[in-house]
Chains A and B, each alone.
Chain A
């Protein structure tokens, strides 16, 4: 049982990180559909760095930087040149799939050391809970820290409130004097960083090798998670664990011969997203908006 819970957590972490980053970007009004592409570049960047520098921690940094690089490309187009965000995001994923295939070609067939587990003094000795919660790797702790941080950031800090204002009504935010474009750049790059680390987690911990397109659609699930969480950070943890839990439950069910069709369980996360979307739009009609109102709209102002 313990091993299964650990598997659920491990499989949830890339989703958790990528969704958290995308949440911040979307809160500022940036809809980046290139999450899958940013995760892929994070994965290839991390693997390359670990092979070169022979230390898995550099992989985290390299993954973050690769993600930021991809997000910067996206930002230049959508924020400065005011291109359509949906089209640019899709383009970014397609571009990154090709680019990472090219960059990853020399890495094929190589394997790297995994990120070590860090035991937290004393806490790790608590039975069951200890090995589940306090014997994780650095990225697992980091992802929880990021979620806690952004929850407070969005709710209580001035910068967080400005970020939300930019996402909700960029014209008003602009007329009060906030630099809309600059703020969106920061948010977008933060999203890229998180997606990059999320992608890096796959070769660093889950399957320590590179193969083309190895994220296999997790970027899209992360996008769905943001909606599922209705743009509230802590709900991403719940959502990611549900997504991960259902994935693993489906596999366990097959191994044990449960009489539930595996296809039905595979469908559940997406069904949950659609239900969440329906509930959100239901609430929207009551004029209680959770969706950032300027989401996906280009800002034509000067800054």
Chain B
């Protein structure tokens, strides 16, 4: 009986898959098939949510001309390889893998499917059919530093970092540069959460910062917990990845919003016109696309909960970055042990940013590890 059932079952399964194959090959060729791999679900209201918004912009722009498949909650590692391979097998022509840890899996699958294009987000390794894309998150951090320097009364800034990697350290240092430009007495203390996402731990870190006297908080983790704690305790802070003012209407000064849509649209358009490329060259650190405020990939939300003169200073910083007048990492740069990183008249290039393992002046302590 069981054997009979299994046979019937496999027969049904077989016929369904054949049916799918027939249907999918009948429609092949018409819409461009696009795949997305997400680290968590859009429910994180942070990193993945920002990608989801980008994907929605893609759908709106192309409508029936594309067919989008999304796989959520894909752990970084062997599972990612399987998921990416499956998306390639299903005939997706371009696949966006949206987390740093998908770097090796993406490269591995790309080798097996030379005709499929891959776009890896925040990675630095490329191949013939793997391009990379990233956002200059640190530009928003500089403006945060300016606002924090003008808003703080205790001159203590609390910063919550996820992991001590170049991308996060770069953000802290950009924040310090903004802070220094308006307030020489304020300093930043950093707590590493050692996780991208743990609302309770992020909240605890925020409470500790406040108990230690910080009145302006910044985060490089994913949940809105820090801002909620700031709201409850009368402190201020900045939103990360998405606008978090709904969680902290009185505490959010502004949010740095990741805007992936234009980049996705550009790459899909290139693919459809047969012009897709990895744009590789000597000056493409860390990816062929590394856009910031100027290219609209980083959007600064409205300045709120601050006096008009502070908002004006913030706007000036924003305009300065946009026009290129402000170079955040221009010399003289001195690290917090007094060592000169780069003399006046020079500036750090993109490659040097990705090698940052020191704090600049204005940050307390030293980078762990």
A interface residue numbers (CB < 8 A to B): 3-4, 7, 11, 14, 101, 104-105, 108-111, 114, 202, 206-218, 247-248, 251-252, 254-257, 261-263, 266
Contacts and interface: CB of A to CB of B under 8 A. Distances in A.
Interface in B209-257: 209-212, 223-225, 228-229, 232, 246-247
Interface string B96-129: 0000000000000000000000000000000000
B357 interface: no
B211 A4 contact: yes
8 contacts: A3-B211, A206-B203, A209-B224, A212-B43, A214-B200, A247-B204, A248-B208, A251-B205
B198 A216 contact: yes
Nearest to B244: A109
A159 B200 CA distance: 37
A11 B194 CA distance: 17
Nearest to B225: A207
A105 B247 CA distance: 16
A207 B209 CA distance: 16
Contact of A109 (B195, B200, B225, B246): B246
Contacts of A215: 200
Interface of B: 40-45, 158, 189-192, 194-195, 197-205, 207-212, 223-225, 228-229, 232, 246-247, 364-365, 368
A217 to B, nearest CB: 8
Given A207-B199, A252-B208, A257 B364 contact: yes
Given A111-B246, A251-B204, A208 B211 contact: no
Contacts of B212: 252, 255-256
Contacts of A218: 200
Nearest to A208: B228
A288 B228 CA distance: 49
Contact of B207 (A3, A213, A217): A3
B207 A255 contact: no
B204 A263 contact: no
Given A108-B43, A257-B364, A263-B194, A7 B207 contact: yes
A247 B208 CA distance: 11
Contacts of B225: 206-207, 209
Given A7-B204, A11-B200, A248-B208, A211 B44 contact: yes
B211 A262 contact: no
A96 to B, nearest CB: 14
Contacts of B209: 255
A38 B158 CA distance: 34
A212 B205 CA distance: 20
A209 B247 CA distance: 8
Contacts of B247: 109, 111, 209
A216 B197 CA distance: 8
Contacts of A212: 40-41, 43-44
Given A101-B41, A207-B225, A254 B191 contact: yes
B200 A207 contact: yes
